[in-house]
Structure 1
Amino acid sequence: MRKFLVFDLGETLIDFNMTGVWREQMRLDVIPKMFTNLKSFHSTITNFPQYSTFLDTAYASIARGGYPVSMINRIKNALTTLKIPFSQKIINSLLQPFDQVFATKAKIYPQVKSTLEELKNLGYILGLWSNTPWQSPGYMSERVMNRFNIREYFSAVHFSGDYEIRKPNAKALEIVQKSSQFKKDDMIYIGNAEVDIQTGSNFGIPTVWIKRNGDILSEKCPRPTYELNSISELGSILPIQ
């Protein structure tokens, strides 16, 4: 019986309420606030950039879809292009606006907490691997988990932005497996998106697809082992051999 249930986070457990508008939010809200924060270091920066130059350079560096480099390094790359010497204090200041937007938009899906509680009570061990938007640091996602009081249910939590690895790379689940010390034969991967099914399939473990909003899988996607309409239905398919 497989006892180690590994989840995706965004749009599986947490609704970040940003589907289709991440790029717009980045360009119209986050990067302008980054520039405002950068201005607090104005006295220490020679040839301080114009707003339009900062906007274009930061956006081009940060908002590159599928790019495995961490957001921290994307920001460093932008500052290097702008010939702005950076410190950890500057990096943290520029991360803060994204962290703020990321946190305030989030809400937990119904029945998530009660389902996680049920699974723990049944003796299952829970893990998590989630891609983060633009490889943002994992602490941002972990704060959201703590905000909704679900971090406590997970024994192994990992995020793509901390490793510069993204799903569907099977190394993502290999990292979770090694950190948990469970065998591969103990694992199941649970998510809402094609990339989740692809990742579990690439790693060679059963997958559970949580359908949302009438989504369908493309013909190129491997078939999930199980297909559910709600996370609350997980108990009905367990145990899985």
Structure 2
Amino acid sequence: MKRLVIFDLDGTLLNTIADLAAATNHALQSYGYPTHDTDAYRFFVGNGINKLFERALPEGEKSPENVQKIRARFIPYYNLHNADLSLPYPGIPEMLEKLQHQGFLLAVASNKYQEATTKLIHQFFPDIRFTAILGQREGIPSKPDPQIIEEIAQKAKVSKEAIVYIGDSCVDMQTGVNAGVTTVGVSWGFRPRTELEAYHPASIADKSADILTFLGIG
């Protein structure tokens, strides 16, 4: 039976927080709004960029119109600068290569908008043949809605029993629960380990090698 491993992107495969913070602060500053420390963005991200902007805007300014204004400044800047400071977490490229070599199907399910998701995956993991690379797309609900997982499962032609979904946040843990698939948390991402533990995932990885161990690869 083919097994499919689906990864979240931000906070799971790549540490992207500094570039996300810089681009959002650039957009906020251009309208005279206060900016935030990079660390604050760990709790702003995870539900797509519109929710990121809503969280970053000051109280009383969180209107849909202001979210769209920030988005219009953010996207051109982020498209140019989304790999300035972003890097894979330690051991991630080697882990993906090992899984690929062992015959696992691999995919990405992100709440980052599609254009940036595709670009970053191709830039940092050019030798990995992903079955699907899906980000946030118009008309498709964001995680924790399970539709993105179901879409990848259909493309890969595997049953839910053959899927492991891996992510770093409560959004990811809830996505796995909603999709009815085995879910693994990673503790190196943007959110605290206690947030993952609250959802009782099948395992929590503290380093990339722990994922290999969970999947039965020495």
TM-score range, shorter chain: 0.7 to 0.9
1:229 aligned residue (206, 212, 216)? 206
Alpha carbons 1:61, 1:78 under 8 Å: kept: no
Q: Distance in 1 between matches of 2:144 and 2:172?
A: 7
Instruction: Tell me the secondary structure at the aligned position of residue 143 of structure 1.
Output: helix
Gaps of 5+ in 1: 34-50, 54-59, 66-73, 80-90
Return the offset for 1:169: 0.9
Alpha-carbon distance change, 14 to 220 in structure 1, aligned in 2, over 3 angstroms: closer
Would you say 1:119 and 2:95 are equivalent positions?
A: no
Q: Distance in 1 between matches of 2:130 and 2:79?
A: 22
Alpha-carbon distance change, 173 to 199 in structure 1, aligned in 2, over 3 angstroms: same
Q: Distance in 1 between matches of 2:208 and 2:138?
A: 27
Count how many residue pairs are aligned between Structure 1 and Structure 2. Answer: 190
Partner of 1:105: 85
Alpha carbons 2:95, 2:208 under 8 Å: kept: yes
Alpha carbons 1:3, 1:187 under 8 Å: kept: yes
Which deviations, in whole Å up to 9, do the C-alpha atoms of 1:166-224 show, x marking residues without a partner?
Answer: 11111221122123222222211011112111111111111111112792234993200
Partner of 2:12: 12
2:53 aligned residue (48, 55, 63)? 63
1:171 aligned residue (134, 139, 147)? 147
Return the offset for 1:52: 6.1
Partner of 1:30: 27
Q: Distance in 1 between matches of 2:93 and 2:158?
A: 24
Q: Distance in 1 between matches of 2:145 and 2:184?
A: 17
Q: Distance in 2 between matches of 1:225 and 1:4?
A: 16
In percent, how many aligned pairs have the same letter? 21
Partner of 2:193: 216
Q: Distance in 2 between matches of 1:202 and 1:114?
A: 30
Q: Distance in 2 between matches of 1:111 and 1:221?
A: 26
Q: Distance in 2 between matches of 1:229 and 1:102?
A: 26
Which deviations, in whole Å up to 9, do the C-alpha atoms of 1:67-86 show, x marking residues without a partner?
Answer: xxxxxxx79x947xxxxxxx
Tell me which amino acid in the other structure corresponds to 2:199. P
Alpha carbons 2:165, 2:176 under 8 Å: kept: yes
Would you say 1:192 and 2:168 are equivalent positions?
A: yes
Gaps of 5+ in 2: 34-49, 56-63
Which deviations, in whole Å up to 9, do the C-alpha atoms of 1:54-99 show, x marking residues without a partner?
Answer: xxxxxx998225xxxxxxxx79x947xxxxxxxxxxx7x9732121
TM-score normalised per structure 2: 0.72
